[in-house]
C-alpha cells in the first residue's frame, strides 16, 4: 500500500462506507519525521500530547498518533492513524467523541507500557480513564 491513498473506508463507530477518503498507509521510506511532513501535506497532523496536562502521545519519531477532520455530504468525519516504525493503521469515526475515545485508548496503551510519559495514577484499563485524561491537551487544537 502507498503511504497516501484515496479509498473507500468503513467508519469504526457507525459502520458507514465512505468513498474517496485520504487514507494513510505504511511508510518505510524514510524517518518518522519525514512521515509527519508528508501527511501534513494531505490534511493530517501528528498529535503531540493528550489529556488535561498534555502528556506525551507516542515516542517520536518511532511511535506517533495522527488525526484529521474532513467531511462528506452527511457531516464530519474524523481520522486517526497510528505510526509505529513505519507500520501505519488508519481508522475513521463519524463522531468526535468516538475519535477522542480511540486516541485515548492509544494514549493509555503507550502510557501503561512505558512507551510515553503519562499520568502517575493510571487505572487498570483504558475504559476506566478519568475524563481529564480522555481529552486533547489544552495546548493544542485536535480535529
Residue 139 lies in a domain: no
Structure confidence at residue 85 (pLDDT): 96
Task: Evaluate whether residue 138 is within a structural domain.
Answer: no
One pLDDT digit (tens) per residue for the chain, 143 residues: 589 999 999 999 999 999 999 999 999 999 999 999 999 999 999 999 999 999 999 999 999 999 999 999 999 999 999 999 999 999 999 999 999 999 999 999 999 998 899 999 999 999 999 999 999 987 566 65
So what's the pLDDT on residue 138? 73
Q: What is the pLDDT of residue 140?
A: 60
Write out the residue range of the structural domain in which residue 60 sits: 4-133
Instruction: Determine the pLDDT at residue 142.
Output: 60
Asked if the structure places residue 143 within a domain, the reply is no
Question: How many angstroms separate the CA atoms of 118 and 36, rounded?
Answer: 22
Q: Is residue 14 part of a domain?
A: yes
Alpha carbon dihedral 99, 54, 105, 32, in 10-degree steps, equals 90
Residue 67 lies in a domain: yes
| pTM more than 0.95 | no
Please give the tally of structural domains in the chain.
1
**Who's near 41: CB < 8 A, 6+ residues apart?**
none
Amino acid at each position: 500500500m502507498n503511504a497516501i491513498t484515496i479509498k473507500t473506508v468503513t467508519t469504526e463507530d457507525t459502520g458507514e462506507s465512505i468513498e474517496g477518503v485520504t487514507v494513510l498507509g505504511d511508510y518505510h521510506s524514510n524517518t518518522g519525521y519525514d512521515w509527519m511532513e508528508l501527511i501534513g501535506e494531505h490534511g493530517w497532523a501528528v498529535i503531540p500530547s493528550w489529556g488535561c496536562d498534555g502528556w506525551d502521545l507516542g515516542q517520536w519519531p518511532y511511535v506517533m498518533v495522527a488525526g484529521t477532520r474532513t467531511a462528506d455530504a452527511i457531516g464530519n468525519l474524523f481520522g486517526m492513524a497510528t505510526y509505529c516504525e513505519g507500520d501505519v493503521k488508519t481508522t475513521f469515526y463519524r463522531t468526535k467523541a468516538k475519535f477522542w475515545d480511540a486516541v485515548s485508548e492509544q494514549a493509555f496503551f503507550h502510557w501503561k507500557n512505558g512507551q510515553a510519559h503519562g499520568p502517575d495514577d493510571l487505572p487498570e484499563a483504558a475504559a476506566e480513564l478519568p475524563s481529564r485524561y480522555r481529552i486533547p491537551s489544552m495546548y493544542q487544537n485536535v480535529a
